[in-house]
Structure 1
Amino acid sequence: MTASAAAWLPALLPGLQGTSHAAAPLMIWPVDPVIAGEQRAVALWVENRGTEPVAMQARVFAWRQEEGDDRFTPQQAVVASPPISQIPPGARQMVRLIATQPVPPGQEQAFRVLLDELPAPPAAPGTAQGASPAAPPGQFGVRLQIRYAIPLFVYAPGTLGPRMPATHADLLSALSPGKTLEPALRWSVDRDPDGTQHLVVHNTGAGHARLTAVRWQAPGRDGPVVTPGLLGYVLPHSQRRWLLDQPPPAKPELLATINGREAPLPRAEP
């Protein structure tokens, strides 16, 4: 279950007057790992800050974008080790993300690391060791499992220069403007028959784009904010669509922070 789903689950079950056990408080870092250089692996750390053991499954999926949406497929070019781990309270677990196949020079490959909190095994009647006390009669205990989806980009040795970036921030310092792995973005707005509007961002470049702080600007004034935080990623030679809560203003210009640099996005030709 995703974090957003966990947040609105109680609203879906108004008839259940039960107890809800919060998901395990986990800290994960880095949240933007990169594999580059001669060392073909990167470490991902998971810390259990809760009071109960947590079972975690780590899987790596190939990431592409089709029809404006993300698609994840199983693959073996990057593997997670260990794939399943038991993390005691207060402990940390290292998960190594290992590239098993070479990447063509001058290209980037995109993956998503999915970390799933596994459900605890069913407890015996009453209270078992390590289990929470049984819910009072007439109440239901709901255990929410969380899924974390972490972007991972992999590069061939020598693609980014001598320094090996371990995080997306390091990657951005290695990718100065004008490098071959820069994104090339254009935007448009699609209108569905029911009037719903979507922002569509096209990327014809060889590198991905991370979009944050996206907002409209009208002539002489500021327009609506699309999102103050992370909007998402647009992979190379792909496009991504996002639902707009508010329509753009007349004669709009789209501003965003693209891979850490604020810039206007040019509009796609009709």
Structure 2
Amino acid sequence: MIQPSRTVPADEAAPEAPMTYAMNRFLPFAFCAAFAPAGLGAAEAASLQASPVLIELRQNSPSATVQIRNTGQAPIAVQTRVYRWTQQNGEESLEETDDLAASPPLTTLQPGTTYSVRLVQVNRSPVTQEQAFRVLVDELPDPNRQQSGTIAIVVRHSIPVFLLAEETRPAQVNWAIGTRNGRLVLRATNTGDRRVRLSNVSVKLAGGQNVSFGSGLLGYALAGSTMEWMSPGRFNGAAGAGATISATTDRGAITGQAAGLR
């Protein structure tokens, strides 16, 4: 069971697509798994679908719906939980919250059926800066279905939810780069009141070297927060002020100059 004030590691917070795990991997939450014959791929075993992929709430529209669907051949139990999503000191965490609730938190889906889970803003106090949450939708295991010669596959959907403020400053990212443990470190500090979604991020160093942080989604820099990422490969050069950062955001392409990490 989840412990009070439990903080979830960043690797449970970031993914946008459904996550799958082998059962023997430790999870900070109660286990949530689908049982599949050995050799069956995770994508084939995943019978739980959830939509939409992103939710925005407003002060005058404080509720939303998550649609969950069972595409498999057997009933499944589903747990839906809401966590506050924060970024501090360059790292992400999820923390238990009473500000936003999912109802019902537990349900059983028959094969081929769709069910609506309602998200409701409990704390209606006005906000001056966008607030971030994550809705975790997990398929719970059915021990009665586990058979000899099977493996357990964990399926989780992690849906970002943003509570918008009425009047906000747009996202404004200040960049910094440096090195740590043989890797290039990229820091994004968002001084605005809205998040920014970053993908296709690359760094052109002052000496002309280009370093890619991947062609897909890198992550978010939440409102008023600082986030850090490590380059995917080893980095043996020098990094500091004067680098140019290029990225694609949810509001278009951006470029910026980076300071050196302190």
Normalised by the length of structure 1, the TM-score is 0.74
Q: Which has the higher strand share?
A: 2
Query: What are the residue-to-residue correspondences of 1:87-102 with 2, within 5 Å?
Result: 87-102=109-124
Distance in 1 between residues matched to 2:46 and 2:254, nearest whole Å: 38
Shift of residue 217 of structure 1? 3.8
For residues 84 and 20 of structure 1, the distance between their equivalents in structure 2, rounded to whole angstroms, comes to 30
Q: Given the superposition, is the C-alpha separation of residues 106 and 67 from structure 1 closer, same or farther in structure 2, using an over 3 Å criterion? A: closer
1:6-57 CA-to-partner distances (Å, cap 9, x unmatched) read: 27979xxxxxxx8256443322211101111422101111111111222111
Question: Matched residues in 2 for 1:118 and 1:253: separation?
Answer: 45
CA distance in 2, matches of 1:222, 1:91: 52
The one-letter code of the counterpart of 1:183 is: A
SS of the residue corresponding to residue 144 of structure 1 reads strand
Q: Say yes or no: does 1:150 pair with 2:159.
A: yes
- 2:21 is aligned to 6
RMSD of aligned Cα (Å): 3.0
Q: Is the aligned partner of 1:73 residue 2:95?
A: yes
Between Structure 1 and Structure 2, whose CA radius of gyration is higher?
1
- d(CA) in 1 for partners of 2:194 and 2:218? 17
Could you tell me which residue of structure 2 aligns to residue 25 of structure 1? 47
Does residue 48 (structure 1) correspond to residue 70 (structure 2)? The answer is: yes
What does 1:256-267 align with in structure 2 at a 5 Å threshold?
A: 256-267=247-258
**Aligned pair count?**
228
Distance in 1 (CA, whole Å) between partners of 2:246 and 2:220 is 15
Partner-residue secondary structure (3-state), 2:258? coil
Match of 2:172 among 184, 188, 195: 184
Counterpart CA distance in 2 for 1:7 and 1:142 is 7
Kindly indicate whether residue 238 of structure 2 is the aligned counterpart of residue 229 of structure 1. no
CA distance in 1, matches of 2:186, 2:207: 22
CA-CA distance at 1:222 after TM superposition: 8.7
CA offsets, 1:81-134, max 9 Å, x none?
A: 1101111111111111100112424321111111111111x32xxxxxxx47x4
Distance 2:159 2:248 in 1: 20
Distance 1:222 1:85, change over 3 A: farther
Percent sequence identity over matched residues?
Answer: 30
Residue in structure 1 matching 2:194, options 198, 207, 214: 207
Q: Does 1:255 align with 2:246?
A: yes
Deviation at 1:267, TM superposition (A): 1.6
Aligned counterpart, 1:15: none
Structure 2: stretches of 5+ with no match in the other structure: 1-10, 13-17, 26-36
Asked whether 1:58 is paired with 2:80, we answer yes
Quick one: distance in 2 between partners of 1:181 and 1:85? 39
C-alpha distance in 2, partners of 1:51/1:183? Answer: 45
